[in-house]
């Protein structure tokens, strides 16, 4: 039987995954694929409420399936969510693939699967069972992918424990002489929740390594010039990034919160060139009250203009955040030094000429977006892969400074203000990040390495195998 190409695209149900997977979906649609994009019901409702671009004139068909969690459950429990997804989503996805074989299906039968590595191995197993081509998308860095693909070596070298992936001492290691020295305590699975969660995540990631051996392609959200050493270790992992959805559509798509476009952009328009500190910690990061207040005071103390994204759920334990005494009146009144928003159109913000630097949690999307727009970083990681990303920002690319906690574990207001000052006056850093911006831009243009890799991947997925 012959069919036109039709990809089913499955993101892990988190903000930093839906955005780049949606970009992959659009890039496939540009190349003639019909695309079915599978969100969890929970996220589908959030995106619809944020009015953030899931309706795009029928180019992509959006489908919502249950994730297995109860309505009010905490979906930041990454491990529990991942386990439930296998039970609840796998049968639904298989049903979608099989149902598409009915001749009456609107967009024809599904011919390939493009799945986020992080959803778990079940998706690639569904592809195998149903006999369609499959590709895994690693939406993070090639360096972190390399740590997963080096599990056996890390175990043999006694860097991590074979059973639970935990650190065996604090011996630094290098996967390749041109990669930075890493510490086992900073490996992604060791930076999530408690020991049980870390063990469970290590096993899920390990399963994933086995599963990708049987898929047709692995692509990642990086570019050749950013990570040549990590990419040289595993040449089968093709970099196709940076995957920036806003760049393609000119608008924010796939957002879980409604971006305050007008608020942000008109405020930025009124600021001088390269005068604003942009502060945003992605979709997961949470602070304790002390650190949150210290950040507020540090921004004030810097004396710089700032645009700060404060999500409603930014404080740990569901607490409601409050600002230091008088902060809002002193700093954020009309015409003041600072502007607060609950969610920004980040890619547009970073591209704005008023933005001078980025205080960031080093989520990989934020890292790629900062680089793509030539903005230096104050690198302040929170969990998972963000510690390795921080190493790249500060030690490998040298396009940012590390935020360092004092002995009590707090990043103080004096430190924040000092680092921002240092960052804004550093011409060498600015020059290096501008060079990366150019390289990132070129890689995704026709003729560039990421563009070519995407073509290779898409052509391969075009070939229907049954």
Query: Which residue, 22 or 135, has its beta carbon nearer to ligand UDP?
Result: 22
**Residue corresponding to tokens 């059973």:** 163
Enumerate helices (H) and strands (E) in the chain, giving the number of each. 18, 13
Tally Cβ neighbours within 10 Å of residue 417.
Answer: 18
Query: Which residue, 141 or 147, has its beta carbon nearer to ligand UDP?
Result: 141
Query: Which residue, 15 or 43, has its beta carbon nearer to ligand UDP?
Result: 15
Over the window 313 to 352, marking each residue x when it contacts ligand UDP by CB under 6 A and - when it does not, the resulting string is ------------------------------xx-xx-----
Asked if 43 touches ligand UDP (CB under 6 A), the answer is no
Asked if 364 touches ligand UDP (CB under 6 A), the answer is yes
Picking from 111, 39, 44, 119, the residue whose alpha carbon sits closest to that of residue 87 is: 119
Residue 465 host element (H or E)? none
Q: Name the segment binding ligand UDP (CB under 6 A); options: 206-214, 233-241, 275-283, 317-325.
A: 275-283
Query: Which residue, 126 or 371, has its beta carbon nearer to ligand UDP?
Result: 371
**Residue corresponding to tokens 């671009």:** 53
Residue 444 host element (H or E)? helix 427-444
Asked if 369 touches ligand UDP (CB under 6 A), the answer is yes
At its nearest, how many Å lie between ligand UDP and the CB of residue 14?
6
Query: Which residue, 21 or 135, has its beta carbon nearer to ligand UDP?
Result: 21
Query: Which residue, 260 or 455, has its beta carbon nearer to ligand UDP?
Result: 260
Asked if 116 touches ligand UDP (CB under 6 A), the answer is no
In terms of Cβ atoms closer than 10 Å to its own Cβ (0-12, 13-18, 19+), residue 7 is buried
The 3-state secondary structure of 336-404 reads CCEEEECCCCHHHHHCCCCEEEEEECCCHHHHHHHHHCCCCEEECCCCCCHHHHHHHHHHHCCCEEECC
Q: Do 193 and 79 meet the contact criterion of CB atoms below 8 Å apart?
A: yes
What is the chain's alpha carbon radius of gyration, rounded to the nearest angstrom? 22
Q: Name the segment binding ligand UDP (CB under 6 A); options: 171-179, 213-221, 279-287, 297-305.
A: 279-287
Asked if 221 touches ligand UDP (CB under 6 A), the answer is no
Find the binder of ligand UDP among 16, 370, 400, 448 (CB under 6 A): 16
Site for ligand UDP in 393-422 (CB under 6 A): none
Q: Name the segment binding ligand UDP (CB under 6 A); options: 12-20, 124-132, 170-178, 426-434.
A: 12-20
Query: Which residue, 365 or 394, has its beta carbon nearer to ligand UDP?
Result: 365
At its nearest, how many Å lie between ligand UDP and the CB of residue 248?
13
Asked if 381 touches ligand UDP (CB under 6 A), the answer is no
Q: Is the peptide bond before 242 cis (omega within 30 degrees of 0)?
A: yes
CA atoms in the 13 A half-sphere facing the CB of 204: 24
At its nearest, how many Å lie between ligand UDP and the CB of residue 356?
17
Asked if 390 touches ligand UDP (CB under 6 A), the answer is no
Asked if 282 touches ligand UDP (CB under 6 A), the answer is yes
Residue 297 host element (H or E)? helix 289-302
Asked if 280 touches ligand UDP (CB under 6 A), the answer is yes
- Quote the crossing angle between the two packed helices 413-424 and 289-302, to the nearest 10°: 40
* 3-class secondary-structure state, position 176: coil
Asked if 118 touches ligand UDP (CB under 6 A), the answer is no
Q: By the criterion CB under 6 A, which residues form the site for ligand UDP?
A: 14-16, 19, 255, 280, 282-284, 309, 343-344, 346-347, 363-366, 369
């Amino acid at each position: 039987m012959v069919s036109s190409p039709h990809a089913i695209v499955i993101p892990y149900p988190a903000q930093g995954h839906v955005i780049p997977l949606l970009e992959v979906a659009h890039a496939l649609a540009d190349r003639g694929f019909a695309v079915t994009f599978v969100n969890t019901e929970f996220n589908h409702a959030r995106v619809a409420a944020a009015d953030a671009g899931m309706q795009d004139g029928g180019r992509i068909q959006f489908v919502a399936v249950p994730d297995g969690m109860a309505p009010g459950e905490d979906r930041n429990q990454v491990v529990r969510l991942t386990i439930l997804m296998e039970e609840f989503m796998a049968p639904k996805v298989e049903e979608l693939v099989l149902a598409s074989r009915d001749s009456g299906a609107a967009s024809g039968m599904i011919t390939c699967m493009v799945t986020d590595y992080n959803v778990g191995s079940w998706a690639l197993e569904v592809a195998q069972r149903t006999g369609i081509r499959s590709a895994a998308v690693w939406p993070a860095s090639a360096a972190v992918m390399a740590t997963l693909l080096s599990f056996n070596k890390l175990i043999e070298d006694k860097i991590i424990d074979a059973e639970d992936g935990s650190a065996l001492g604090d011996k630094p290691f290098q996967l390749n002489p041109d990669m930075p020295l890493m510490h086992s305590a900073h490996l992604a699975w060791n930076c999530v929740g408690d020991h049980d969660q870390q063990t469970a995540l290590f096993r899920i990631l390990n399963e994933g390594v086995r599963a990708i051996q049987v898929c047709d392609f692995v692509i990642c959200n990086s570019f050749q010039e950013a990570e040549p050493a990590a990419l040289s270790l595993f040449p089968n992992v093709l970099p196709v990034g940076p995957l920036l959805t806003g760049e393609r559509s000119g608008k924010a798509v796939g957002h879980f919160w409604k971006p305050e476009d007008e608020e942000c952009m008109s405020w930025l328009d009124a600021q001088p060139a390269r005068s604003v500190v942009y502060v945003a910690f992605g979709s997961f990061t949470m602070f304790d009250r002390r650190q949150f207040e210290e950040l507020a005071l540090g921004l004030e103390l810097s004396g710089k203009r700032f645009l700060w994204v404060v999500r409603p759920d930014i404080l740990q334990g569901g607490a409601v955040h409050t600002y230091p005494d008088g902060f809002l009146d002193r700093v954020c009144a009309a015409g003041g030094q600072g502007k607060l928003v609950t969610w920004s159109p980040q890619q547009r913000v970073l591209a704005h000429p008023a933005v001078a630097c980025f205080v960031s949690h080093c989520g990989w999307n934020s890292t790629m977006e900062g680089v793509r727009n030539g903005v230096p970083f104050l690198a302040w990681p929170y969990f998972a892969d963000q510690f390795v990303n921080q190493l790249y920002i500060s030690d490998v690319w040298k396009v940012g400074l590390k935020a360092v906690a004092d002995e009590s574990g707090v990043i103080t207001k004096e430190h924040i203000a000092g680092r921002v000052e240092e960052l804004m006056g550093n011409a060498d850093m600015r020059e290096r990040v501008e060079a990366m911006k150019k390289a990132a831009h070129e890689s995704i243009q026709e003729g560039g390495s990421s563009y070519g890799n995407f073509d290779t991947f898409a052509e391969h997925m075009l070939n229907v195998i049954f």
